[in-house]
Amino acid sequence: MNRKYLYPLLTVLIIVGLYYAEQYVDRQNEAYPESIKTVGDKTNSEFDDSYLPTSTTGVIVKHNYFSLSYSEAHEQAEWVAYELSKDQLAKNDFDRPDFVEDRKVKSKSAHWRSYKGSGFDRGHLCPAGDRRFSFEAYHETFLTSNISPQNNDFNGGVWNKLEQKVRYWAKKYDGVYVVTGGVLKDGLKTIGAERVSVPEAFYKIILDSSEGQYKALAFLIPNEPTNKSFYEFVSTIDAIEAQTGIDFFPKISSEKQHALESKIDIKAWGKR
């Protein structure tokens, strides 16, 4: 083909390809528009202010079904917080979407390709399994602001078992509040062109506030394979705050915070 016609043709093909790629991303993003209300469901904006942690970065992003504090330096959330109510427990089998960047993070969240070939899973912080009660909620968990590099055996092992236990507690106690994330600090290994930090450990804090009475249980688990039970990694909230610099429940009174955060009470959660 004459070059006179080849280059214009290639230009047209590239423009058409970019157009359809953009349309595809937009369709993916339609899974979590700015305001969604599902029948029988309450969105994150209705409860998260009560127990929202502090942010060390000042970048708090509120989505419909979870909130997060984004760390641009580490290209991931330092925490993701959400309520898991009893009526949200479901096993709907939705098609698994592609991961997409979070448009609400002004500095842009990491691209999923940063994880490709890294040897680490794109580990959900708010689990997709906690958001199967609606199509929109499920798809929202595939924002890249909601993932962090996790060891495959860790993600599919002890961490997955803890996530299942959280769902059990949500059913048993008619809902719980969850805060989770990786411990972010200087000097961590990074992956991808965007240098996404690989946390050496992940934490998960579960709060039950039934009838105004508080109880909490926290876990701090190394990001590595283990055959140990997640109960072997129970931690005080104070210890996790010391490592992260985050105040997890700043709106609870100082007296109640001390009782919650300085002690470990596994028996209160049915563990004997």
Residue pLDDT, tens place only, 136-177: 999 999 999 999 999 999 999 999 999 999 999 999 999 999
Burial of residue 234 (CB within 10 Å: 0-12, 13-18, 19+) is: middle
Q: What is the mean pLDDT of the chain?
A: 87
Helix (H) or strand (E) holding 172: helix 158-172
CB 147 within 8 A of CB 122: yes
Q: Is residue 24 situated within a structural domain?
A: no
Angle among Cα 64, 121, 105 to the nearest 5 degrees reads 35
CB 194 within 8 A of CB 114: yes
**Mean pLDDT to the nearest integer, 29-48:** 43
Token digits for 197? 């930090």
The yes-or-no answer on residue 74 being catalytic is: no
Q: How far apart are CA 163 and CA 56, in angstroms?
A: 25
Q: Is residue 164 situated within a structural domain?
A: yes
Q: How far apart are CA 65 and CA 221, in angstroms?
A: 25
pLDDT of residue 37: 36
Q: Is residue 2 situated within a structural domain?
A: no
pLDDT of residue 51: 86
Phi, psi (degrees; rounded to nearest 5) at 166:
-60, -40
Q: Is residue 205 situated within a structural domain?
A: yes
pLDDT of residue 212: 72
Q: How far apart are CA 25 and CA 78, in angstroms?
A: 25
pLDDT of residue 213: 85
pLDDT exceeds cutoff 90 at 14:
no
Q: Is residue 1 situated within a structural domain?
A: no
Q: Is residue 187 situated within a structural domain?
A: yes
Q: Is residue 127 situated within a structural domain?
A: yes
pLDDT of residue 3: 54
This prediction's pTM: 0.84
Residue 121 belongs to domain spanning:
31-269
Summarize pLDDT for 225-240 with one digit per residue, the tens. Answer: 999 999 999 999 999 9
**Mean pLDDT to the nearest integer, 211-226:** 93
Cβ neighbours around 92 below 10 Å, total:
11
pLDDT exceeds cutoff 50 at 77:
yes
Amino acid in position 54: T
With pLDDT > 90 as the criterion, what percentage of the chain qualifies? Answer: 78
Q: Which residue from 255, 260, 267, 159 is spatially nearest to 207, judged by alpha carbons?
A: 260
Q: Is residue 22 situated within a structural domain?
A: no
Looking at the structure of the chain, the number of domains it has is 1
Point out the catalytic residue in the list 74, 124, 139, 258: 124
User: Which has the higher per-residue pLDDT, 73 or 37?
Assistant: 73
CATH number at residue 68: 3.40.570.10
The string of DSSP letters for 28-59 reads HHTTS-S----TT---GGGTGGGTPPP-SSS-
Summarize pLDDT for 95-146 with one digit per residue, the tens. Answer: 999 999 999 999 999 999 999 999 999 999 999 999 999 999 999 999 999 9
With pLDDT > 70 as the criterion, what percentage of the chain qualifies? Answer: 82
Angle among Cα 90, 92, 97 to the nearest 5 degrees reads 120
pLDDT of residue 23: 45
pLDDT exceeds cutoff 50 at 71:
yes
